[in-house]
Structure 1
Amino acid sequence: MKEHYKESGVNWIGKIPAHWEIIKVKNLARNNGSLFIDGDWIESDVIQKTGVRYLTTGNIGPGKFKKQGNNYISEETFHSMNCLKALPGDLAISRLNEPIGRACILPYDEPRYVVAVDIVILRPDSKYDKQYISYCMNTVGYSENAAIMSRGTTMKRISRGGLGNFSIPITSYSEQKLISNFLNQKTSEIDTLIEDKEKLIQLLEEKRQAIITEAVTKGLDPDVQMKDSGVEWIGEIPEHWEVVKLKSKGEIRGRIGYRGYTTEDLVDVGKGAITLGASNINKLNQLDLSQKSFISWEKYYESPEIMVQTNDLIFVQRGSVGRFCIIEDKVENITINPSLLIIKEYIENTKHLYWYLNSNYITNLVTLLTTSTAVPMVSQEQLKNFNIILPPKQEQNKITGYLNHKTKAYDITVNIVNTQINKLKEYRQSLIYEAVTGKIDVQEMLKETEQEEVSSS
């Protein structure tokens, strides 16, 4: 029988089945033993390695708990501060960091938890299924609504009162349970497909990395005479190649000292120059100008030595340390912020240097440098002293052409698989939305699945 629908009165929800209702989140917890309350303000000086497990918003993923961090507070602190006792199975909602309003169920790894003040613990009345509520709170429309309602400049957050006034669609407990069980099964199947494709990408990237490393450290001639490079991680290199310091082949510059700037030097679009930061270099080591920041003309012209030009190479020294990109297109009025270094006036083949920085040798070196210091970074002096393995210029050109061609097939395949992953994620989101708003009949879909399984057996 075809379901009758009615208007929900909530934009992101749209129409719902006639027998469903709309309820505000704060009204999910009305009975004794139910909760809708913020966590506690825990100072860093009371954090320790044993006691009551302390969770932050970083542990709250969209629908999934994230096992990161290993912080605790003592029993004494827990009791003296009269902390909220969050229990395994409670629904935890993050008021901070996008997607704002995301929620997950706390795992059964600990008998109890203490949670940060930006986490709301929802322990709803028994007639509501927590897993179903979690799915509602992790739909795209719900998250977009939370983002609109959030406040703040550097870190956006939403109040518990704001969250409490959000609406979700609700049906009978048995139907909530049916929907959450259906989504558990279907999203698990989708997640498995996504994980398989992500493993394929990882394998492709490892093979791509191996090809690059082999070419820039061993060359293209398998019969060439070799010699010890004098660099432990590299081993042997062609005997006519040389090992030099990067600083001997180019200028490494950064925004240092009085040439630094504050947020007061940032201006609106059209009123200054683009200033690049770590976020403008993506994980594929490409320049990404989808989001731009601008610095005043005064600060821009103050530092002509770090104005970005074609054929410059940009290196991330803080943040996503070790990422880099080459400026291949003509650019105007761009500079860098203090998180970046710029390699200019490189007298060899800059694209060969780009491929060299992609090698396992540099990846391992960056990892060593960033894990051996309190603040993960690569200093300007350290970058200057990077060992560069250089073949003659003509051979650099051949290696560059080879890698441009050889990596293209890998990049195309990775892009195809990434597109497939994105489509699976979109389907997952669509399925959740349609199920929790009653736009698909879960019971009918389950019957169809059972019939297909019987037919195929």
Structure 2
Amino acid sequence: MSGLPKGWQSSSLDKIVPHDATISDGDWVESKDQDPNGTVRLIQLADIGDGNFRNKSQRFMNNEAACRLNCSFLKEGDLLVARMPDPLGRACLFPGIGQNAVTVVDVCFIRETSISAISNTLLKHWFNSPYIRGVISANASGSTRKRITRKKLEKFEFPVPPLAEQKRIVKKLDEVLAQVDTIKARLEGIPDLLKRFRQSVLAAAVSGKLTEEWRGDTKQAAERTLNLPQSWQLKSANEVCSKVQSGSTPRNDPFNQNGTVPFLKVYNIVNQEIDFDYKPQFVTTETHADKLKRSIAYPGDVLMNIVGPPLGKVAIVTTQYPEWNLNQAITLFRANDELLNNKYLYYVLCEGALVRDVMPETKGSVGQVNISLTQCRESKVPLPSLDEQKEIVRLVDQYFAFADTIEAQVKKAQARVDNLTQSILAKAFRGELVPQDPNDEPADKLLERIAQARADAEALAKAAKKAENAKKRAAKKS
């Protein structure tokens, strides 16, 4: 930390914290010491956010156990530092939660006093700054899960600005970081908006509203409610598909490392498309042709999982392989090309009416629901002309591409905002966030007072101990 601003001082944490303050690990509380009906909250790593208190955990102990273990009760304003990831070294202020609370041993807490060299509010920002995070990471230990010891934390060097400047820095950080948090919250809400947008597009597509202008029947469409356009029909899947068939899996393990035919499972359907890179499995050509022939799928077939939850994950079989096999939790819908466009059928199934319509009738074991093959075959498909189906697919593709573009831009914006927080903290850490005032008392004067107060306290403690020993010796002689 060379080149500190004028009036600033570098000091280790144990010298910043005065003698009458606290820097300590939390308490060692085992499972046997906890009580779900207790009134003392046990603050855990999950509660420590990156600058904010998450208040997520639900662990308790009773007051008797807390006293028996000589636990340290937290106070509002205590700084909590996570000694384990993720991320390692994140810090937040304890806000007070309306009940007694202690914290676990993997959380270090710091309690300031009126003469602390750095306020806990600023110290929180320092811990969350890129520089200190880097120091903590470089000094962490552990092979499987990194951790940092309190003793190492105490020896890390922190920049100490003048007290008056600290207040200006905290005020400015609170202001700009609040703006960043507002931007983050707005960005985080956009994916849900896009999800609802995509669903509304699908609903408009399968009801005929998306192609009202294309058909030229806007007046008629405005008058109807849930009914389909007059030019549309409502057909069962069995009527418009050349095949509706669920997959199958032989009892004996059919999978073979030398197999060449891909075998799809429900977990290979991700975000409404096939992801065969995740846990790919194969069967031999012989098994595929003999034992699994009824569940053969071809590129262009539309798939839907029928065992859940969740139900209704949908995908179109890709051209990655010429033939595929499906397990029993997946049903394939093979469109009759003379009546049905397979991409239109895909969007109909993505809209979810099939699942919604059969949900009251689904059956299954505890925690599981199934859609039967009969329900799949009898499910209703709103059927416009092939030309209108193609137009629907074109429009849905267009709107979805638009939503995908926005989603990609949001992810980039979120990454920039995350970097912005670190940039602001780094700027504050270097003393570049607020102007300096030559009239501020330099930080070295404050550190000198803390050191003198510590020396005085130690001297008083030694004198008191010496007097106590002398008193004991006198008592023995008498």
Task: Determine if the alignment matches structure 1 residue 403 to structure 2 residue 396.
Answer: yes
Q: What does residue 116 of structure 1 align with?
A: 104
Distance 1:37 1:429 in 2: 27
Name the aligned partner's letter for residue 233 of structure 2: H
Q: What does residue 451 of structure 1 align with?
A: none
Q: What does residue 232 of structure 1 align with?
A: none
> What stretches of structure 2 of length at least 5 have no aligned partner?
336-340, 438-478
Distance 1:294 1:353 in 2: 28
Task: Determine if the alignment matches structure 1 residue 131 to structure 2 residue 121.
Answer: yes
Equivalent pairs counted in the alignment come to 393
Q: 1:76 to 1:62 in 2, by over 3 A?
A: same
Name the aligned partner's letter for residue 82 of structure 1: N
Q: 1:167 to 1:347 in 2, by over 3 A?
A: farther
Report the CA distance between 1:412 and its aligned residue.
Answer: 2.5
Distance 2:34 2:408 in 1: 46
Name the aligned partner's letter for residue 177 of structure 1: K
| Partners of 1:90 and 1:123 within 8 A in 2 | yes
Task: Determine if the alignment matches structure 1 residue 390 to structure 2 residue 385.
Answer: no
Distance 2:359 2:11 in 1: 50
Distance 1:441 1:47 in 2: 47
Task: Determine if the alignment matches structure 1 residue 181 to structure 2 residue 171.
Answer: yes
Distance 2:127 2:429 in 1: 10
| Partners of 1:59 and 1:67 within 8 A in 2 | yes
> What stretches of structure 1 of length at least 5 have no aligned partner?
1-6, 9-14, 227-234, 266-272, 446-457
Alignment of 1:316-331 (within 5 A): 326=315, 331=320
Report the CA distance between 1:184 and its aligned residue.
Answer: 0.4
Q: 1:46 to 1:61 in 2, by over 3 A?
A: same
Report the CA distance between 1:134 and its aligned residue.
Answer: 1.2
Q: What does residue 61 of structure 2 align with?
A: 73
Task: Determine if the alignment matches structure 1 residue 151 to structure 2 residue 142.
Answer: yes
Q: 1:347 to 1:196 in 2, by over 3 A?
A: same
Deviations for 1:385-437, whole angstroms, at most 9, x for unmatched residues? Answer: 98665345946655333211122223323433443343333223211111123
Distance 1:202 1:130 in 2: 36
Q: What does residue 334 of structure 2 align with?
A: 347
Distance 2:160 2:307 in 1: 50
Deviations for 1:61-109, whole angstroms, at most 9, x for unmatched residues? Answer: 1101113344433223333343331222111122333212111111133
Q: 1:444 to 1:127 in 2, by over 3 A?
A: closer
What is the identity percentage for the equivalent residue pairs of Structure 1 and Structure 2? 19
Structure number with bigger Rg: 2
Q: What does residue 84 of structure 1 align with?
A: 72
| Partners of 1:86 and 1:112 within 8 A in 2 | yes
| Partners of 2:125 and 2:425 within 8 A in 1 | yes
Q: 1:170 to 1:424 in 2, by over 3 A?
A: same
Distance 1:276 1:165 in 2: 53
Calculate the TM-score normalised by the size of structure 1.
0.64
Name the aligned partner's letter for residue 134 of structure 1: K
Alignment of 1:172-251 (within 5 A): 172-199=162-189, 202-216=192-206, 220=210, 240-242=233-235, 249-251=244-246
- Name the SS for the 2:4 alignment partner: strand
Q: What does residue 437 of structure 1 align with?
A: 430
- Higher RCO (CA 8 Å, separation ≥ 6 residues): 2
More helix by share: 2
Q: What does residue 231 of structure 1 align with?
A: none
Distance 1:418 1:61 in 2: 21
Q: What does residue 12 of structure 1 align with?
A: none
Q: What does residue 37 of structure 1 align with?
A: 25
Distance 1:32 1:180 in 2: 24
RMSD, aligned CA: 5.3
